Structure 1
Amino acid sequence: MSDMGRQSVTDKAGAALKPDSQKSVLEQGADMLKGKTDSAASTAQPESQKSFTQQAGDAVSGNSNQNSGSMMDKAKDAMGIQK
C-alpha cells in the first residue's frame, strides 16, 4: 500500500522491469510523469510521516530525502512565518 499521493512499490517495480523498448510512447510519458510526481511527493513528505513501505521503496529508488520537516515548513521558515 502506498501513502497518499505516492506511487506504490509494485507500480514502481513494474514500470522499471518493463524495458522502454517494449513500451508505447504514451506508457513512457506516463511513467516519466508518475516518477516526477512521486519524487516531488517524496521530497515534500517528511521521513517521519512515511510508512515503512514507502521509506524502503524510496531508499531503493533513490527518492529518499533528508528532510526533518516538509518543504512547506522550510518555505515558512525562509519567509519568517511561525509554524
Structure 2
Amino acid sequence: MADAGRQSFTDKMSSSMKPDTQKSMTESMGDKMKGMGDSVASTLQPESQKSTTQQVGDSMSGNSNENQDSMMNKMKNAVGMGDN
C-alpha cells in the first residue's frame, strides 16, 4: 500500500504497462501528471520517513532518491516496450 498522498502501486503498474499509443490524449496526459506528481513527492520525502512498502515501490518504479533506472523500465526495455 502506498503512503498517503502517493499514487497507488496498482495505478502505476497499469499505467506503465499500457503503451501510450493505446491511450487517449486525456488518459496519457493524466498518467503523466500523476506520475510527475508522485515523482516529485518521492524526491521531496526523505527515505527515512517512507514506509518499507513505499521504499520498495519507489525503487521498483524509479521514484527513489537514487539516480538509477527503475526495475519497471529495465523490464520494459528487456521485452522491447521501453523508450530505449
Matches within 5 A, 1:1-83: 1-65=1-65
Unmatched runs of 5 consecutive residues or more in structure 1: 67-83
Computed over aligned residues only, the root mean square deviation of the Cα atoms, in angstroms, reads 1.1
Shift in Å, 1:9: 1.1
Unaligned runs of at least 5 residues, structure 2? 67-84
Task: Give the superposition deviation at 1:36.
Answer: 0.6
1:45 Cα offset (Å): 0.7
**Identity across the alignment (%):** 62
* Equivalent AA in structure 2 for residue 20 of structure 1: D
- The Cα of 1:19 is off from its aligned counterpart by 1.1
Per the TM alignment, residue 62 of structure 1 is displaced from its structure 2 partner at its CA by 1.2
Detail structure 1 runs of 4+ shifted over 4 Å in the superposition.
none
